């Protein structure tokens, strides 16, 4: 795969007001105690991969590890909750209490560098990039921009998800005379929604018992309006969060609420995908971990389900990458290093990503081992504009991500564009590094 251009600004790590703000948050918790190292053949891996597709893919990673490093016991520490909404607070408590898992799931960008590296919870793994030739096989821009601080690299990517995908139930659309081409405008999307509404079908499946899922629908819609250049402008402060274009995206997002399944707040993201499979809703805008659910349920590409870029976002790829980091003072350092080496191996990348829906982060895998969706996503990654996700912790500090989630929660109820926009303007002001030129 050729490397595409990543529109991302690295978190400023020195004297950054936002990090000072983050640091003051961390000052409220105890400094980490030294963890006890042990030579037990064991490794504790922390993640939030518990949905059907996620668990199957994680299992594939474990299988490869067990094959490569026989005899090491894997402690699978998971905390359920899509997007890591429940796992991250648990992890934070463990890290600040000096009880780290050996290795944990993290998005690159602000999440890795701001929440884990800056407070000193991670050990660099730069040497693995040299010993295992990863400096040649992983996309340099991602490694340098999203995972490196002071020339030290802090994570290895297991895979790269595309966040801006609109999934659909093929048969349900056919039944309702709706055809989807290889891209979709907002007008086409709403025309389809109206047809479905007239037939009594909630067009858009949302499972936002974790509000991030609705925030993701907004994130995708925002990109559809502002485009990749606007995205960079927003996260660098060149465009303001109350810009007319942002407000336009908010209005479209409000309009979408008219077509959402009424039980959305009772469902998780994967339950919404299951509602789509069962024909109870027609579309769902969700990152391609949804593909993992289709695969797990043995749904057939094109016949049973299809996909297109979220309206207006054709030509852009929202990166939601999954990395793993090494704990400073990891209780089982040797086994943890082996775990990270294993994740970075071709064998693991091929086995894991085929089931997870993401594409391998390594650029030298055998493409022929992947299905149609993966081929499509690999092509998109190669030729499209790459932007970092805010909802999944990459593009902005955690506090801004939280402000976005809170804004979405309020907006779904009051649909007040000015309130939503002003809340984001305030949040961006409080964390000015998201708007440094
Ligand atoms: C992660 C994915 C995961 C999804 C839903 C995202 O933040 O990057 O790996 O499948 O959340 O849980």
Question: Beta-carbon neighbour count of residue 155 at 10 Å?
Answer: 31
82 CA distance to ligand 1 centroid (A)?
6
Q: What pairs with residue 386 in β-bridges?
A: 6, 317
DSSP letter string over 374-403? HHHHHHHHHHSEEEE-TTTTSSS-HHHHHH
CB of 360 sitting under 6 A from ligand 1: no
Pocket test for ligand 1, best of 293, 320, 325 (most atoms within 8 A of CB): 320
Q: Is 161 in the pocket of ligand 1 (CB under 6 A)?
A: yes
Q: Is the pLDDT of residue 207 over 70?
A: yes
CA of 50 to the centre of ligand 1 (A): 10
- Rounded Cα–Cα distance for residues 294 and 168 (Å): 11
What's the number of CA atoms in the CB half-sphere (13 Å) around residue 304?
Answer: 16
Q: Is the pLDDT of residue 43 over 60?
A: yes
Buried b (16+ CB within 10 A) or exposed e, 76-85: ebbbebbbbb
pLDDT of residue 40: 81
Going by pLDDT thresholds of 50, 70 and 90, the confidence category of residue 431 is confident
Whether 285 has a pLDDT exceeding 80, the answer reads: yes
Write the residue with the smallest CA distance to atom 9 of ligand 1.
Answer: 322
| Predicted confidence band of residue 21 (pLDDT cuts 50, 70, 90) | very low
Query: Alpha helix locations (H) across 37-109?
Result: 52-68, 87-96
Q: What is the pLDDT of residue 26?
A: 28
Contact 389, 234 (CB under 8 A): no
Per-residue pLDDT band at 39 (split at 50, 70, 90): confident
Alpha-carbon span 303 to 173, nearest angstrom: 11
Mean pLDDT calculated for residue range 268-294: 98
Please, is 189 exposed, middle or buried when counting C-beta atoms within 10 Å of its C-beta (0-12, 13-18, 19+)? buried
DSSP reduced 3-state for 216: helix
Euclidean distance between CA atoms 42 and 338, whole angstroms: 11
Is the confidence at residue 383, as pLDDT, over 60? Answer: yes
Among the listed residues 327, 323, 308, 301, the one whose alpha carbon sits nearest the alpha carbon of residue 377: 308
CB atoms within 10 A of CB 4: 17
In the predicted model, what is the mean pLDDT of the chain? 92
Share of the chain above pLDDT 90, in %: 89
Residue 429 has pLDDT above 80, yes or no: yes
Q: Is 207 in the pocket of ligand 1 (CB under 6 A)?
A: no
| pLDDT above 70 (res 258) | yes
> Distance from the CA of 187 to the center of ligand 1, in angstroms?
29
Distance 39 CA to ligand 1 centre (A): 32
Question: Residue 24 has what pLDDT?
Answer: 30
Q: Which of 57, 84, 104, 319 most suits a substitution to test ligand 1, by most atoms within 8 Å of the C-beta?
A: 84
CB 88 less than 6 A from any atom of ligand 1: no
pTM of the model: 0.92
Q: 137 forms bridges with which residues in the sheet?
A: none
Confidence of residue 17 (pLDDT cuts 50, 70, 90): very low
Nearest CA to ligand 1 atom 12: 82
Q: Give the pLDDT score at 247.
A: 98
Is the shortest distance between the CB of 215 and ligand 1 below 6 Å? Answer: no
Q: How far apart are CA 109 and CA 348, in angstroms?
A: 23
From ligand 1's centre to the CA of 107, what distance in Å? 9
- Give exposure, 22-31, as e/b (b: 16+ Cβ within 10 Å): beeebeeeee
Helix (H, G, I), strand (E, B) or coil at 203: coil
Residue 192 has pLDDT above 60, yes or no: yes
CA 288 / ligand 1 centre spacing (Å): 9
The DSSP letter of residue 260 is B
**Rounded distance between C-alpha atoms, residue 300 and residue 277, angstroms:** 11
What pLDDT sits at residue 37?
67
Which pLDDT value is given to residue 432? 56
């Amino acid at each position: 795969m050729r490397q595409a251009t990543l529109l991302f600004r690295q978190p400023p790590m020195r004297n950054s007001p936002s990090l000072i703000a983050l640091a003051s948050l961390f000052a409220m918790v105890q400094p980490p105690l030294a963890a006890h190292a042990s030579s037990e053949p064991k490794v504790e891996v922390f993640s939030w991969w518990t949905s059907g597709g996620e668990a199957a893919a994680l299992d594939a990673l474990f299988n490869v590890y067990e094959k490569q490093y026989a005899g090491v016991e894997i402690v699978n520490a998971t905390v359920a909750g899509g997007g890591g909404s429940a796992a991250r607070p648990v992890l934070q408590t463990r890290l600040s209490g000096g009880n780290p898992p050996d290795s944990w799931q993290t998005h690159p960008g602000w999440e890795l560098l701001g929440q884990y590296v800056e407070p000193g919870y991670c050990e660099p793994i730069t040497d693995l990039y040299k010993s295992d030739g990863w400096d040649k096989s992983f996309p340099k821009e991602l490694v340098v921009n999203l995972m490196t601080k002071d020339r030290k690299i802090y994570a290895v990517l297991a895979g790269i998800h595309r966040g801006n995908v609109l999934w659909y139930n093929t048969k349900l659309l056919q039944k309702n005379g709706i055809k989807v081409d290889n891209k979709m405008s907002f007008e086409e999307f709403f025309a389809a929604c109206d047809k479905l509404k007239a037939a009594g079908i909630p067009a858009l499946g949302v499972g936002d018992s974790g509000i991030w899922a609705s925030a993701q629908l907004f994130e995708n819609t925002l990109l559809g309006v502002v485009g990749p250049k606007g995205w960079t402008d927003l996260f660098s402060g060149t465009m303001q969060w109350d810009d007319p274009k942002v407000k336009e995206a908010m209005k479209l997002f409000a309009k979408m609420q008219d077509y959402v399944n009424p039980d959305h707040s009772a469902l998780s993201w994967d339950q919404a995908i299951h509602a789509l499979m069962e024909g109870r809703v027609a579309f769902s805008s969700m990152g391609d971990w949804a593909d993992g659910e289709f695969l797990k349920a043995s749904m057939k590409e094109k016949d049973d389900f299809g996909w297109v870029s979220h309206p207006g976002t054709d030509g852009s790829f929202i990166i939601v990458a999954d990395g793993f980091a090494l704990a400073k003072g990891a209780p089982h350092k040797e086994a943890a290093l082996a775990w990270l080496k294993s994740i970075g191996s071709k064998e693991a990348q091929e086995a894991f990503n085929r089931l997870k829906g993401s594409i391998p982060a390594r650029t030298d895998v055998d493409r022929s081992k992947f299905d149609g969706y993966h081929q499509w996503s690999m092509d998109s990654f190669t030729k499209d504009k790459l932007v970092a996700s805010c909802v999944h912790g990459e593009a902005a500090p955690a506090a801004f991500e939280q402000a976005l989630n809170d804004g979405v929660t309020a907006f779904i109820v009051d649909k007040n564009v000015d309130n939503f926009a002003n809340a984001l303007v305030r949040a961006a002001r409080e964390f000015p590094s998201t708007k440094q030129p």
